Amino acid sequence: MGKTAESIHFEGEEDHEAPRGTGGWTAASCIIEHHFFALLAYSGVSRTLVRYLTRVMKQTNSSASSIVLNFSGTSYITPLVGAMLGDSFFGHFRSSLLFAVIYVVGQFLVTLSANVPALQPTQCKIGEEICPATKRWQLSFLYTSLFIIALGRAGYPAYQVLGAAQFHDHRQNAERSAFFTYMFQALTFGYMVSATAVVYVQESYGWGVGYILTALASFMSLLGLLSGLPFYREGHSEGNACAKIFQVLSASLLKCRLSLPPREELFDDQSQDPDEANLDFFYSSDFRFLDKAAIETHDEQFLREGRNPWRLCTLSQVEEVKQILRLVPVCISCIIFTSIYGQLPTLFVLQGEVMNRKVGNFNVEIPPATMTIFENLTVLLGGYLYNKVFIPTMMKVTGHPKGISPLQRIGTGLCMGVLAMTVAALVETQRLARISPSDTQGSEMSMFYLIPQFVLVGIGEIFTYVGLTEFFYDQSPPRMRSVSSSISMLTQAMGNYLSSLLVSIVYHSTTKDGSPGWIPNDLNEGRVDKFYLLLAALCGLSFICFLIIASTFKHRRDENLPTRRCSPMRKTMTSRSSLKEPLLS
């Protein structure tokens, strides 16, 4: 039975029948607590995993980096599955609970891997030249555990929507906005705690104790979610937006042999979907092959009440899909930046491992994974300065209500990616130059020289990722915004997979004829600086492609033009060629 209320109590009562005390900050605070501990547990594993793989599981630097990147990429893909299940089948609370339980199981299995000797390779004894190799089943157990953790991350979209639904009234927009702010702060603080406290425990007391902490954090996240059970309101779902995209693709393929009639004859009966009657569209002339999904055959004219949505779609639905497709090239141009971001928990950490990690004259060594806190601090402080200083200043210069447009923001972030990799390459070149024959562990160059590259990547995040979020929200159809958010996460997944592929290609192509290659087990014999320059060059090419894409992008709406309402009585066809805006507008 369909629900018309914007928010309903978990038990199923309509909004006006929901008991007093449901929703609001009481329920939302439980979700924020769940989010904090979940991210703390995830970061505690992901940001130290590369060292666990090289030190305990005896993986090469290149292999360990690829494993971490694949794990991160999968962690960004599974939320797409969770979003579809939450929208279409289980509801947001049940989906959140299901994946929270799976998440705890995955963390528990990783903890077993770090604490049970049989699940680890036999460590080398003093004086042994040949060490026992890691058994395949031992690696398989760890890989399975990591996959289950990544699968548990699928609940993220569901509990984010569930949290927003606790402020169901339109008068609570400010509280809803504050909720998202607190969610971001919980994410950042979760990463910071893992980069300091959890990493310290792992370095001082062993991997087993450290991963026990992450498992406990995941269990605390589950308890946090359950503690709000008496107070939750379940958000009303708009249905599976992804299915609507596949319906258009299916219908257009089934009718690919049909000739496209004039648009006035295409099916657009909004009485079949009352929500479409209130949507405004510009009918576009691109992706014309998708218009065939709205061709109404002779047989379908007599079956309107029971039309098959996989064979016949409304023209309004087709236009929504077109708007989503227009976002894809922008996403593709940002994939390489995510590949750069993927170096933070992998090569940046390995780079710090072969540098001087002491603080001044104190005999205290900083774990290399702790350096990621500088990226967290940059995002936290930089985000505040961006809103309070950068936007007001740029508003006076450009007159733009946001200081600069989302596309300009994305372009700036890509430039920061080029700069970050260039600086990282220069630092690595200097590190290699300062290695003396007497150095057995690495360079005497301080690990704190890595701070600029962490900071620059953090600044790039503020521009690129937040710019993408703004851009998707502005340019997505209102009913497809969940899909656009999924595309953003898919972009990050593809970036991690691309980085893993690049590491593998570079490793195999540079280790010929006895050469140690660019990314060997001993980075003192490698040329990681060349790999960083390769990423900088690829990011530069992505920026050029982005400029071309942005200059030809057709915006969803133009404030200078009147909006043509799509209605069954009047099908006004407006070409999108008139909607092009200035470069990076």
Which string of DSSP letters, residue by residue, matches 15-33? GGGSPTT-SHHHHHHHHHH
**Per mean pLDDT, which range of 148-162, 170-184, 376-390 is the poorest?**
170-184
Six-digit token pair at 313?
């779609």
pLDDT at position 526, please? 87
**Which amino acid is located at 542 in the chain?**
S
Residue 556, helix vs strand vs coil: coil
d(CA 179, CA 176): 5
Nearest in space to 337 (alpha carbons), one of 566, 109, 536:
536
Most confident of the ranges 160-169, 383-392, 545-554: 545-554
| DSSP E strand stretches across 384-499 | none
CB neighbours of residue 481 within 10 Å: 16
Structural domains of the chain, ranges and CATH numbers in brackets: 1-120+134-237 (1.20.1250.20), 241-324 (no CATH), 334-435+443-553 (1.20.1250.20)
Is the per-residue pLDDT at 483 higher than 60?
Answer: yes
d(CA 194, CA 369): 9
- Residue 358's DSSP bridge partners are 365
Is the per-residue pLDDT at 168 higher than 80?
Answer: no
Is the per-residue pLDDT at 59 higher than 80?
Answer: yes
d(CA 214, CA 152): 14
pLDDT at position 304, please? 56
pLDDT at position 188, please? 83
Most confident of the ranges 19-23, 156-160, 332-336: 332-336
| CB 158, CB 92: distance < 8 Å | yes
Residue 7, helix vs strand vs coil: strand
**Per mean pLDDT, which range of 5-9, 78-82, 177-181, 547-551 is the poorest?**
5-9
**Which amino acid is located at 196 in the chain?**
T
Between 486 and 74, the higher pLDDT residue: 74
Helix segments in 153-281, DSSP class H:
156-164, 173-193, 199-205, 207-227, 241-254
Residue 194, helix vs strand vs coil: helix
What are the C-alpha distances in Å from 399 to residues 182, 404, 474, 560? Answer: 30, 9, 18, 16
Query: Length of the chain in residues, anyone?
Result: 585
d(CA 6, CA 235): 7
| CB 542, CB 413: distance < 8 Å | no
Q: Please, is 258 exposed, middle or buried when counting C-beta atoms within 10 Å of its C-beta (0-12, 13-18, 19+)? A: exposed
Buried b (16+ CB within 10 A) or exposed e, 161-189: bbbbbbbbeeebeeebeebeebbeebbbe
To the nearest whole percent, how much of the chain has pLDDT over 90? 30
Six-digit token pair at 377?
């601090």
What mean pLDDT is predicted for residues 493-497?
Answer: 91
- What pTM was estimated for this model as a whole? 0.81
Between 260 and 481, the higher pLDDT residue: 260
pLDDT at position 19, please? 53
pLDDT at position 23, please? 74
